[in-house]
Amino acid sequence: MKTTKHTIIYILLLVVTLSGCKKYLDDASVNPNDPEKATPGSLLANIEVATFSNTSGNLARRSGIFIQQLAGTDGQMIELANYQILEGDVTNEWTGIYNNVVINCNIMNADFGEKNPYFNGIAKVLKAYNIGLATTNWGDVPYTEAGKGLSDDIMAPKYDTQQSIYASLQTLLSEAIADLEKPAEANDYFPTGDFIHGGDPAKWIKTAWLLKARYANHLSQRNAGESASLALQYLENAGLTGTEDDANAVFGENGNELNQWYAFEANRGGYIRMGAYFIDTLKASNDPRLPFYATTDNDGLYTGSDVDPGLANIAASAVGTYFGSANSPAPMATYVEALFIKAEANLRAGNTAEAATAYNDAVKASISQITGASDAAYEAVFANETSESVNLSKIMYQKYVALFTQNEVWTDWRRTGFPQLEPNPSGFVSGIPTILPTPQEERLYNPNAVNVTNVLNKIWIDAD
C-alpha cells in the first residue's frame, strides 16, 4: 500500500529529525505505533522544523562567513573561513533539504494533497523555498526526480539545470497559489502543524508571490528587463503590507527547539564571531541596528574579527540578541526583502523615482523592525535617496545589512558584486567561494550527479 509505505518512512524521518522537539509536535497527534493514523498536520510540522534547520543552520553560517558578515575564528569554522570546503562537509545540509523536506513534501502531495489543497499548497511553497536553497548553493541539483525513491523507485535522480529549475520553481509556486485560493470547504482538514502562518492560506499566498519575486529577481544577470518586470508584477500580486506578513522560522526554549545561532554559540563558543568588515561599516555609519546585531566584546566595544583566520579575534563581538537569543525567529521571506527587491527591480527597469522610494522605505522598515523605533539622524543620511542619487551599490549594501544572517545575501553578492569584498588572502582558493562542492554521497552513489569540486565555479544565475 503506497500510503502505508509513505507513512512508515515519514515516521522514521520524523524521529530522526525531531527527536527531543516535543513542543513542535504537541498538536501533531501521531502514534508512531499506528502509522496509518499519521496526519497531514504532523507531516507539515516535520517539513517546517526541517526547513527551520535549513534556514538558520550551516548554510546560513557558511554564507555569512563568505560574505564577511561573520568570521570563522575557531574549530571547523577556521577551515571554512580559509575556503577549505570538502565534499564531506556539506552532507548534512543536502540531507536536510532532500531527505527531510523534499521527500515529505512529495508524500504530502501523494497521500493528502487531493483532499487537502491548503496542506498541499503550503508543502509546495516550502518545497520551492528549500529547492531554492539547494540550487543557489549547489547550482544544478535534482528536482524533477528528487525524492521519488518511494513512489517511483528512482534511487539515482537526474540533475536538472539551474535554468530549468528556476522555471520549475515558478510553476510550483503558481500551483501552490492555486491550491491555497480554493475555498475552505475543499479541505478535509484545516491546516495544523503550521508554525509559520498558523494555517492562514492568505498569508501563504503572499509568501508564495514573494518567493516568485525573489526567484525572478535572481535572473537579473540573465534577462535584466524581464527579471525586473516579473519581480514587480509578483510583488504587486503579493500585496504585502508590513512585517506581519513575514515568513519566519520559529524556535522554542528547550532542547532541540533552540534557535540555531544561540545553540551553536552555546555548544561551540568562539567558533564564529562578527566580521570586521560588517562591524566596521555599521560603526562608521552609526547604524542603529549594531547593538541588536552584535554583542559587545570584553571591553564593552563592538569589534569584528579579520577575514583571515590567522588574525582571528575570538574575543570579538558575537551574534547579538535580536537573531541569537534562545527563541529568536529566523527570517525566511520578509516584507523588508520585498521592498529591496522592489527597489532593485525598479532601478533596473529605469523607474528611478520608484526605486528611491522603495529603497528609503526598505531601510526605514528594517530599522523600525530591528530596533523598535525610527532613527531620524540615520535615515536623514541613508534613507533619503532621490531618483538622481539612488544606485545599485546603495541598494545592495543596505539589503546586505538588513538581511543579516540570511543565505540570500550570498546569492545577491554573487549576482551583483555588491558589496565589494576582499577575499581572505590566505585562503585555499584565490577568491570568495561561489558554489558548494557536490556532497560525497552524491558523487559516490548517484551516477547522474554533476560533480563540482572547484568552489570558484559560477552558478548559472551569476553570469557576468
Distant-in-sequence, close-in-space partners of 96: CB < 8 Å, separation ≥ 6 = 50, 53, 54, 57
First to last CA, the chain: 50
Q: Which of the four pLDDT bands, split at 50, 70 and 90, describes residue 26? A: very low
Predicted local confidence at residue 464, as pLDDT? 67
C-alpha span between 18 and 256 (Å, rounded): 8
Q: Side chain identity at 54, as an amino acid letter?
A: N
For 299-313, what is the mean pLDDT? 97
Predicted local confidence at residue 190, as pLDDT? 87
pLDDT over 90, % of the chain: 88
C-alpha span between 405 and 130 (Å, rounded): 16
Average pLDDT of the chain? 92
Predicted local confidence at residue 149, as pLDDT? 81
Find, among 163, 144, 143, the residue nearest to 460 by Cα.
Answer: 163
Q: Which of the four pLDDT bands, split at 50, 70 and 90, describes residue 253? A: confident
Residue 129: pLDDT above 90? yes
Predicted local confidence at residue 291, as pLDDT? 98
Predicted local confidence at residue 22, as pLDDT? 35
**Weakest mean pLDDT among 41-45, 73-77, 95-99, 189-193:** 189-193
For 405-433, what is the mean pLDDT? 97
What angle, 0 to 180 degrees and rounded to 10, lies between the N-to-C axes of helices 201-217 and 162-180? Answer: 160
Beta carbons within 10 angstroms of residue 226's beta carbon: 12
**The model's pTM:** 0.93
Find, among 357, 84, 346, the residue nearest to 217 by Cα.
Answer: 346
Q: Which of the four pLDDT bands, split at 50, 70 and 90, describes residue 12? A: very low
Continuous segment of H or E residues that includes residue 463: none
Q: How far is CA 17 from CA 51, 89, 160, 410, in A?
A: 11, 19, 27, 27
C-alpha span between 234 and 225 (Å, rounded): 14
Per-residue pLDDT tens over the stretch 340-394:
999 999 999 999 999 999 999 999 999 999 999 999 999 999 999 999 999 999 9
Q: Which of the four pLDDT bands, split at 50, 70 and 90, describes residue 409? A: very high
Where is pLDDT greater, at 418 or 11?
A: 418
Cell 504585502 maps to which residue?
A: 240
DSSP 333-385: E-HHHHHHHHHHHHHHTT-HHHHHHHHHHHHHHHHHHHHSS--HHHHHHHS--
Residue 11: pLDDT above 70? no
pLDDT over 70, % of the chain: 92
For 163-190, what is the mean pLDDT? 97
Residue 7: pLDDT above 60? no
**Structural domains of the chain, with CATH:** 2-17+33-254+329-462 (1.25.40.390)
Cell of 56: 538558520
Q: What is the CA radius of gyration of the chain?
A: 21
Q: Which of the four pLDDT bands, split at 50, 70 and 90, describes residue 237? A: very high
Q: Where are the alpha helices (DSSP H) in 372-463?
A: 376-382, 392-402, 408-416, 440-445
By three-state DSSP, how is residue 72 classified?
Answer: strand
* Burial readout 111-141 (b: 16 or more C-beta within 10 A, e: otherwise): bbbeebbbbbbbbbbbbbbbbbbbbbbbbbb
Where is pLDDT greater, at 110 or 6?
A: 110
Q: Which of the four pLDDT bands, split at 50, 70 and 90, describes residue 8? A: very low
For 153-160, what is the mean pLDDT? 93
